[in-house]
Amino acid sequence: MNKLTFLVLGSNGTLGSNIVKYLKKKKIKFKTVARKNSNYNIDLKKFKKLEKLLLNNKFDIVINCAAIIDIDKCEKSPKSTDFINCKLPKYLSNISKKFLFKLVHISTDHVYAGKFGILNTETSKIKSCNNYSRQKIKAEQSIKNNKNCLILRVNFTSNNKNSFVDQIIKSLKRKKKIYLFSDMYTSTLDVNTCAKYIVDLSLMHSKGVYNIGSKDMVSKKEFAIRMSKFLKKKIIYETCSNEVLKTKRGKNLGLNIDKLEKKLNIKVINTNKVITNLAKSYK
- CA–CA distance from 6 to each of 28, 31, 87 (Å)? 8, 6, 21
Q: Is the pLDDT of residue 1 over 60?
A: no
- Quick: pLDDT tens for 203-232: 998 999 999 999 999 999 999 999 999 999
Q: How much is the average pLDDT of 247-274?
A: 97
Q: Is the pLDDT of residue 279 over 90?
A: no
Task: Report the Cα 63 to chain-centroid distance in Å.
Answer: 12
Give the chain's domains with CATH numbers. Answer: 5-158+188-214+254-268 (3.40.50.720)
How many Cα atoms sit within 13 Å of 29 on the Cβ side? 10
- Quick: pLDDT tens for 148-179: 999 999 999 998 888 999 999 999 999 999 99
- Quick: pLDDT tens for 78-116: 999 999 999 999 999 999 999 999 999 999 999 999 899
> Which contiguous run of DSSP H or E holds residue 33?
strand 29-34
pLDDT band at 52 (very low <50, low <70, confident <90, very high): very high
> Which contiguous run of DSSP H or E holds residue 193?
helix 191-203
Q: Is the pLDDT of residue 193 over 80?
A: yes
- CA–CA distance from 200 to each of 172, 194, 251 (Å)? 35, 10, 29
Find the angle CA(11)-CA(157)-CA(184) to the nearest 5 degrees.
135
* Average pLDDT of the chain to the nearest whole number: 95
55 against 280, higher pLDDT: 55
Q: How much is the average pLDDT of 58-64?
A: 97
Contact 42/49 with Cβ under 8 angstroms? yes
pTM of structure: 0.95
| pLDDT at 204 (0 to 100) | 92
pLDDT band at 282 (very low <50, low <70, confident <90, very high): low
> Which contiguous run of DSSP H or E holds residue 229?
helix 220-230
| pLDDT at 101 (0 to 100) | 96
Q: How much is the average pLDDT of 176-186?
A: 96
Share of the chain above pLDDT 70, in %: 98
pLDDT band at 283 (very low <50, low <70, confident <90, very high): low
| pLDDT at 140 (0 to 100) | 97
